Structures are given as C-alpha cells and as structure tokens.
Amino acid sequence: MTRLLDDIFAELGLSRYLDAFVDQGFDTWDTILDIQESDLDALGVKLGHRRKLQRRIANARGIAPSVSLASVKSTTDEVKPESSRRESSRLDGNSEGSGVTKRKYRRHPKPDENAPERPPSAYVLFSNKMREDLKGQSLTFTEIAKLVGENWQSLDPTEKETYESQANAAKEKYHRDLAEYKKTPEYRRYSHYLHDFKEKQAKHMKVGTPEVTPRQHE
C-alpha cells in the first residue's frame, strides 16, 4: 500500500475502509481508479462515503463529478471496439466457457460507528496543514501529494517532532476515550455483533470459505 493511498483515504475521511480495500486488491490509487459500483457495494461503502471517493476519481480521470462510475463504465463500453469489449467481458468473468470468475470478496464486519475515531498520524497532521497552505494553487491532487511527501522527508527533525508530539497526544486521548467507550451499552452491543459475526464465519469455514478475522479496537 502506498502512502498516497493512505493520504487520500485520510483526507476523504474514509480510513475505516482502507484495510478492506487493500485486502481485496485495491492497494494502489491506479487500481481504485477502475473501481465499479458493484465493488463498492461488496466492500460495504456507504452511499455518502462512496460519492466522496467517486468525486475524487472523477476529478483524477477528468470526468464531471456528477457522473457516476456506473454511467462512466456504460459510456466507455459503448465506444470500445468489439475486441476490447470481449476482453473486458473475459476479465469480468462473463464470457461463456471462459472459466474466469468475478472477484470474490471476503466478508468484513461493519465498522463500529459509535467508537472514537482513530487518531491521525504525524504525517497526516503535516499533510493536512500543508494542504491548507497550498489551497488556491493550481495543483493536481497527485502533485500536492508528491510535494507533501517530499517536504515531509526533508522536514527539520525539530519540526517533525512537533507533529509527532501532536500525534502522540491524540493517540493518548483516543485510548482514554476508547477505555470510556468500552464501558457503554453501545460497545457491548458491538461486541455481541462481532461475536456472532465470528461464529457465522467459523461455520462458513467448515464448507471451505476463507477465514475472516475481524479487527477489534486496539
């Protein structure tokens, strides 16, 4: 997984989905540029969250943000040569007798929406600050991400320590908030949900379904 991808998801407020995306093979920005509505459905991305991602993808591909990815795919398929459409169908697993199946997804537990939000890293804090400073300049997202990465690498150790201290403080607060949250009925309900989820996955394991280990709060 690239730092660019981590940066994009953090900026869009979609970090909760990052592990699921990477686990299913969407581990670079280039692969996410070709993601489809069906993929987002399978990954459990909520409508409002997927629209944020789609707007970013549309911007990167030079497509109007109002056009959904599903519409873009349909329009693109219409102008593809027949050979390209056959190749796309083969890759999607739709060709007769091709033996190619569609992407298989492992189920993931839904995120705990009541839990405290995970704290940003020192790099993300620096990235957010620099993006604010660069607002108004005619730079693409990729250009900004490159500048952020380069500036972070060359940042004076004293300045970097400031961001690391802020990140550590945020992490300590997160753990305090999490400890308090674990005393609530909402946490107990989510724990029961995770327990049931694991049991269902264990049953699927008996018939050959890959194991899924839900990530609990750390």
pLDDT at 217: 58
Q: Which amino acid is at 102?
A: K
Q: Which amino acid is at 118?
A: R
Does pLDDT of 27 surpass 70? yes
141-155 pLDDT, tens digit each: 778 888 888 898 899
pLDDT at 181: 95
CB 28 within 8 A of CB 60: no
Does pLDDT of 81 surpass 60? no
pLDDT at 169: 94
In this prediction, residues 127-147 reach a mean pLDDT of 83
Q: By CB neighbour count within 10 A (0-12 exposed, 13-18 middle, 19+ buried), where does 101 fall? A: exposed
What is the C-alpha radius of gyration for the chain, rounded to an integer number of angstroms?
21
In this prediction, residues 28-36 reach a mean pLDDT of 81
pLDDT grade for 168, boundaries at 50, 70 and 90:
very high
Which two tokens mark 57?
Answer: 């993808």
pLDDT at 8: 86
pLDDT grade for 88, boundaries at 50, 70 and 90:
very low
Does pLDDT of 4 surpass 70? yes
Average pLDDT, whole number, for the chain? 75
Q: Check residues 16 and 91 and name the one with the higher pLDDT.
A: 16
pLDDT at 162: 94
In this prediction, residues 77-105 reach a mean pLDDT of 46
Count the Cβ atoms, other than its own, within 10 Å of residue 13.
12
Does pLDDT of 132 surpass 60? yes
pLDDT at 63: 66
Q: Which residue has the tokens 């694991």?
A: 198
Give percent of the chain above pLDDT 70. Answer: 71
pLDDT grade for 178, boundaries at 50, 70 and 90:
very high
Segment of 16-20, 59-63, 160-164 carrying the highest mean pLDDT? 160-164
pLDDT at 6: 82
158-167 pLDDT, tens digit each: 999 999 999 9
pTM, rounded to two decimals: 0.50
